[in-house]
Structure 1
């Protein structure tokens, strides 16, 4: 069984044990749900080896059971599965960000990828990995998209190069489904998705991807990534310069409606 599945099973087992061996007497799922202010079915999912863990839950469990950060530690290990070390800090920031601005010159950003598209990319990036390992990495990437649902989801603005929608990744069916998914995002009022035309000329962000995240405490952090490297940038001057570069790219890109038309036209290259 892959390590990340073991960790999730450990989380589930330790939670059930902590509940049943509570010092003040066995706690039912209903009682724990009341403490957490969630539904009983949510507690049941938490005690399942494959259930989703909301990021605010582990520290609350540590408070309730006095487990000195054990559940938070397990959660962070589970969340880190399938990601390179240099991207983990960015992922932590992403989960609590109030605003995310993202530029991608080469591939569909992870928050917008379909499972098959993510799998096709990771298959190329990890040619010696087993199918189970690739699938686990793809699942971990898709799990990030849970933050886009709900009233507390961040404001999301994304600019992709036109080459992103033109470059086929995976089978024609995979690419069609990915383009259809992107098209749906252009109709989402909570998301701004733009396409930067190939003939728009040179700009300052051509060398790699960029994310600018506004944290809940109003800090603004930038994250840049290359092929085998990534960096968190917190210096206000550097972040300000990168933010300006992003806004120039966004201002040069097509608007939401025009971007949707470009995606729709490319979608016609993959008929059903």
Structure 2
């Protein structure tokens, strides 16, 4: 067996928490299986907490404190870990931040905005100001920085393979001025051309479709069941029920089937950027049909 990798307790708060959990468990002479017994959580989940890859839920912290006789230590420190993880992000998104670091594949549906890791600073600021108009400049700057840190998802060769379906309305809605929209869409094209994700555009007039709802993301893993994440404006939910996740996965397959092919979709994004650059409103679906019929022409 390969040597065990111990967490670096000095790295950050979650690492300290995970290292302390492993220390207390081994001090008590318990295996992960023994500690997990009666907790309604699996061994992989506890192992990920020890490696600082996931956050300890309060119910599990209470169970651990009871089994290890740690006088409420792990329950009290849950909040510290949550704050460390959530810096610059909404509380409900913290678990997804942990999960996406270990996903093999990500399949995302973006009906309203370009996904966060692809957003440039002006786009990020516009969205934050629209959703949270009373935030101070310091709070906005923190959120901008946190979102920019997630750009690794489309830059690191070891990041999850990503399939992204964008609503055509994302291209047609001018969130920024024309020059900034052109720059933002050109950035999406550049990242896509480096094969960091596969894009598809769902035409705005497609009618009823399986994901007529908020942002949705399906994450698959090497050593754990798949999960679905669904997000609204001020809330988000991780769904782990196997039957429900399977339904979402099949619906996403139907969504991809209804969307335009990746090469046509990429051409649409590129042409929309050019239209904004020339001071025009993107032509929308007409553009996609032209690209589909004559992929080498403008």
Q: Give the structure-2-normalised TM-score.
A: 0.66
Q: Could you say which residue in structure 1 is the equivalent of 2:286?
A: none
Shift of 1:59: 6.2
- State the shift of 1:111 in Å: 2.0
- Whether 1:178 and 2:191 are equivalent positions in the alignment is no
Shift of 1:60: 11
Q: Which residue of 1 aligns with 2:161?
A: 155
8 Å Cα contact 2:118/2:154 also seen in 1:
no
1:119-134 alignment, distance < 5 Å:
119-134=125-140
Q: Which residue of 2 aligns with 1:80?
A: 86
Q: Which residue of 1 aligns with 2:72?
A: none
Kindly indicate whether residue 227 of structure 2 is the aligned counterpart of residue 221 of structure 1.
Answer: yes
Inter-CA distance 199–131: structure 2 relative to 1 (3 Å threshold): same
Give the unaligned 5+ runs of structure 1. Answer: 1-34, 37-42, 47-52
The CA deviation at 1:144 is 1.2
How far, CA to CA, are the matches of 2:16 and 2:162 in structure 1?
27
Match of 2:204 among 184, 198, 202: 198
**How far did residue 61 of structure 1 move?**
10
Alignment correspondent of 1:19? none
Instruction: State the match for 2:243 in structure 1.
Output: 237
Whole-angstrom distance in 1 between the partners of 2:182 and 2:81: 35
Instruction: Report the TM-score when normalising by structure 1.
Output: 0.71
d(CA) in 2 for partners of 1:233 and 1:60? 25
Question: Which of 87, 92, 110 is residue 104 of structure 1 equivalent to?
Answer: 110
1:246 correspondence with 2:252: yes
SS in 2 for 1:198: coil
| Aligned partners of 2:201 and 2:260 also within 8 Å | yes
Query: Aligned-pair RMSD on alpha carbons?
Result: 3.2
Unaligned runs of 5+ in 2: 26-48, 53-76, 279-298
Deviation at 1:174, TM superposition (A): 2.2
Counterpart pick for 1:135 among 138, 141, 148: 141
Check 1:122–1:67 CA distance in 2 against 1; reply closer, same or farther (3 A cut).
Answer: farther
Separation (CA, whole Å) in 1 of partners of 2:153 and 2:89? 17
**CA gap 1:128/1:190 in 2 versus in 1, 3 angstroms:** closer
- Matches of 1:235 and 1:161, distance apart in 2: 27
- Give the one of 265, 268, 275 matched to 1:269: 275
* 1:95-152: CA deviation from partner (whole Å, max 9, x where unpaired): 1111110001111111211121111110111111111211210110111122433342
How many pairs are equivalent? Answer: 222
Q: 2: distance between equivalents of 1:264 and 1:80?
A: 34
**Does residue 187 of structure 1 match 2:193?**
yes
Please say if residues 164 and 198 of structure 2, whose CA atoms lie closer than 8 Å, have aligned partners that are also in contact: yes
**Structure-2 residue corresponding to 1:23:** none
- Which one of 260, 263, 272 corresponds to residue 266 of structure 2? 260
